[in-house]
């Protein structure tokens, strides 16, 4: 069974600093996808970034980058130049890759990030 582990329940970072949110995963599949979602206090889940297991380069989207280390089974999210609006809950998730029925996501327990002045 797939499992996602986020060991940091809460993190603090100062504005304009970079922060790394940890995510490790466990799967026996060769083909899978890793996601990060942001959930502000308003509740909606916002997709941030995606990494496929066969992608050779780390994914980047603006200030977000995913530090993918396949051998270590880790997929850490790096936020550069933190902003106050980055304060939110962040979830790491993994997708099983198979055809036939829907590809499900397995989520971690989340990390609450607080950006301070």
Partner 1 sequence: DVKVTQSSRYLVKRTGEKVFLECVQDMDHENMFWYRQDPGLGLRLIYFSYDVKMKEKGDIPEGYSVSREKKERFSLILESASTNQTSMYLCASSFADTKSYEQYFGPGTRLTVT
- From candidates 28, 30, 42, 57, binder to partner 1 by CB under 8 A: 42
- Give the Cα separation of 95 and 92 in Å (integer): 10
Strand, helix or coil for residue 37: strand
Residue 30 is a binding residue for partner 1 (CB under 8 A): no
Stretch that binds partner 1, among 14-22, 29-37, 54-62, 68-76 (CB under 8 A): 29-37
Closer CB to partner 1, residue 43 or residue 117?
43
Query: Which CA distances in Å does 93 have to 13, 33, 52?
Result: 23, 8, 12
> Cα–chain-centroid distance for residue 38?
8
Which residues make beta-bridge pairs with 97?
none
Chain contacts with partner 1 (rule: CB under 8 A): 4, 6, 9, 33, 35, 37, 42-45, 47, 50, 52, 91, 93, 95, 97, 99, 101-110
């Amino acid at each position: 069974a797939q499992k996602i582990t986020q060991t940091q329940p809460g993190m603090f970072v100062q504005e304009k600093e970079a922060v790394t949110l940890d995510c490790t995963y466990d799967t026996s599949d060769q083909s899978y996808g890793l996601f990060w979602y942001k959930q502000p206090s308003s509740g909606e889940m916002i997709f941030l970034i995606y990494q496929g297991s066969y992608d050779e380069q780390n994914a980047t989207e603006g200030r977000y980058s995913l530090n993918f280390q396949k051998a270590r089974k880790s997929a850490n999210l790096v936020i550069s130049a933190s902003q106050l609006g980055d304060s939110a809950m962040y979830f790491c998730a993994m997708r099983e890759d198979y055809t036939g029925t829907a590809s499900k996501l397995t989520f971690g327990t989340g990390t609450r990030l607080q950006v301070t002045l």
